[in-house]
Structure 1
Amino acid sequence: MAALLEPGMLVRHPDQADWGLGQVQSNIDGKVTVNFEHAGKVVIDSKRVFLVPLLDSEHP
């Protein structure tokens, strides 16, 4: 799934709802950098956390 995450995509962290909406900044070797509304820039190991991509219909 992580291979499908591209810069600009909107995602949510499955265990950190309070971080809000995140925008993928980069995806290099399974390390996904995401800029979250309420947590700032976070690097996620996609082998440990499965980010949830938002569908077009889910955008605020």
Structure 2
Amino acid sequence: MFDKPGNGLLSPGDFVRHPGRPDWGLGQIQSMIGHRITVNFENAGKVVIDGNVIELAPDDASPR
């Protein structure tokens, strides 16, 4: 499904970080439709990520 295999292990509700945008902070996956991953980041708001281009990093931290 994804060119970036780590994204296939993610599910809505999981907490992630964008590896190229640490300033966005912690994000929670809202939905995954095809290769489009909608994430609500604490410092950037809702962002749609192309899961074939960006591999999100899982984060086990609870929201602050």
Task: Pick the TM interval, shorter chain.
Answer: 0.7 to 0.9
**Percent identity among equivalent residues?**
54
Give the paired residue count.
Answer: 57
Matches within 5 A, 1:21-36: 21-36=26-41
**1:13 and 1:52 in contact (8 A); partners too:** yes
Question: In the TM superposition, what whole-angstrom CA distance separates every residue of 1:1-48 from its partner, at most 9, and x where no partner exists?
Answer: 212211110000000000000000011111100000000000000111
Q: Unaligned regions of 5+ residues in structure 2, if any?
A: 1-5
Distance 1:24 1:5 in 2: 8
Structure 1 runs not aligned, ≥5 long: none
The alignment's TM-score, normalised by the length of structure 2, stands at: 0.83
Partners of 2:39 and 2:20 lie apart in 1 by 15
Offset, 1:50: 0.5
- Whether the 8 Å contact between 1:22 and 1:37 is mirrored in structure 2 is yes
1:9 maps to what in 2? 14
TM-score scaled by length of structure 1:
0.88
RMSD: 1.0
